[in-house]
Amino acid sequence: MLLSSCAKQENKNTVRLAYMPNVTHAVPLIGLEKGFYQEELGSNIKLKPMHFVVGNNIIDAFITNQIDVAYVGPGPFINSIYRGVPLKLLANSCDGGTTIVGTETCRDIKTCQGKSPRISVPQYGNTQDLILRKFIENNNIKNAKVIAIPPQDTATAFFTMSIDAACLPEPWGTILIDKAKCKIIKDEKEVLNNGNYPVTILVTNKKFAEENPEVISKLLIANKKTIDFINSNKVESIEITRNAISKITKKDIKNEIILKSLSRCTFNNKFDFNILKEFAEIGIKAGYYRKVLLERLPQK
């Protein structure tokens, strides 16, 4: 029998799954549409999908017992570890999928308009923030100012000249390029580690995992099944992803944008736990965390 993770749920046979309307979250978007999760869970368990705008809000939803399982970036997951939120990393979902875009006068981010570059990220401490700060460190960029702006508001920030560049998850970077709002500065491979870095992972409440091991096993099967589907059915994956994001955001997105965005992503379920330490160290240098975080990181 399925039990709730903490407080009493409205329905003890319901699994609440969180995700975001990004191409980097194509696995839950497609898996939900194709029915892979419900198919594995069976008819006795109801799946309740819940979408969020930013990753750290998903962590808050875990704290308030609104969700049981979620797709989220490693940045918010590390934040949860530091805050003592009892979460468990289950599997990887998507690597890469991050670009840095900028204005015509900011093609060289080191000398952007001869001043300190102003670069936006979706949220302080999120995955793109940590990736950007590592990029800044690796390229010895001086006096860069990192600004948190939701992806959907980035075009306005470029229009008002509030920022010079933005580090974004797909499809938001490609959307700005398509609208001729900016040019690509660095693609997903140039940003960090030749594109080999996680941007979306599958996590759960530890108590929920302990009480419902069979459910977790079924969700992992669905996660892998969806990844295999994406890698084998590119055309259908583009259409499903486009429709899902458009439905949630209420904005029509071209198939060409989804095609380019998906090409910047690598979907696999293998997670390298060593990357958590690298991201955590970036967060420590940024002042988000203290070194005690390194002692709390899961090893496997």
Mean pLDDT on 95-119 = 81
Domain match, 29 and 116 both: no
3 in a structural domain: no
2 in a structural domain: no
Domain encompassing residue 76: 14-96+197-296
207 in a structural domain: yes
Domain match, 70 and 121 both: no
Compute the distance between CA of residue 119 and CA of residue 287 in angstroms, rounded to an integer. 18
Among 145, 178, 195, the domain-final residue is 195
What's the CATH code of the domain at 43?
A: 3.40.190.10
Strands (E), the chain: 14-19, 46-51, 69-72, 87-96, 98-102, 118-121, 145-148, 165-169, 183-186, 198-205, 265-267
Domain match, 85 and 229 both: yes
Find the farthest-apart pair of alpha carbons in the chain and give their distance in angstroms, rounded: 63
pLDDT value at 103 more than 60: yes
Domain match, 161 and 228 both: no
List pLDDT tens digits, range 187-219: 999 999 999 999 999 999 999 999 999 999 999
4 in a structural domain: no
| Higher pLDDT, residue 2 or 107 | 107
Mean pLDDT on 18-44 = 95
Give the pLDDT confidence score for residue 46 in this predicted structure.
93
Give the pLDDT confidence score for residue 31 in this predicted structure.
97
Give the pLDDT confidence score for residue 113 in this predicted structure.
58
The mean pLDDT of the chain is 89
Domain match, 180 and 289 both: no
Contact 168, 98 (CB under 8 A): yes
Give the pLDDT confidence score for residue 250 in this predicted structure.
86
Mean pLDDT on 31-55 = 93
Give the pLDDT confidence score for residue 268 in this predicted structure.
94
pLDDT confidence of 10, banded at 50, 70, 90?
very low
Q: Which amino acid is at 169?
A: P
pLDDT value at 7 more than 60: no
Closest CA to 165 of 113, 95, 125: 113
Give the pLDDT confidence score for residue 273 in this predicted structure.
83
Percent of the chain whose pLDDT exceeds 90:
70
Domain match, 85 and 201 both: yes
Compute the distance between CA of residue 10 and CA of residue 193 in angstroms, rounded to an integer. 44
Mean pLDDT on 179-187 = 84
List pLDDT tens digits, range 59-90: 999 999 999 999 999 999 999 999 999 999 99
Contact 68, 198 (CB under 8 A): no
Give the pLDDT confidence score for residue 85 in this predicted structure.
92
| Higher pLDDT, residue 144 or 114 | 144
Domain match, 271 and 204 both: yes
Domain match, 292 and 204 both: yes
pLDDT value at 2 more than 80: no
In total, how many domains does the chain have?
2
| Higher pLDDT, residue 7 or 149 | 149
Domain match, 162 and 284 both: no
Domain match, 201 and 279 both: yes
Give the pLDDT confidence score for residue 56 in this predicted structure.
79
Domain match, 208 and 84 both: yes
Among 180, 195, 210, the domain-final residue is 195
272 in a structural domain: yes
pLDDT value at 286 more than 80: yes
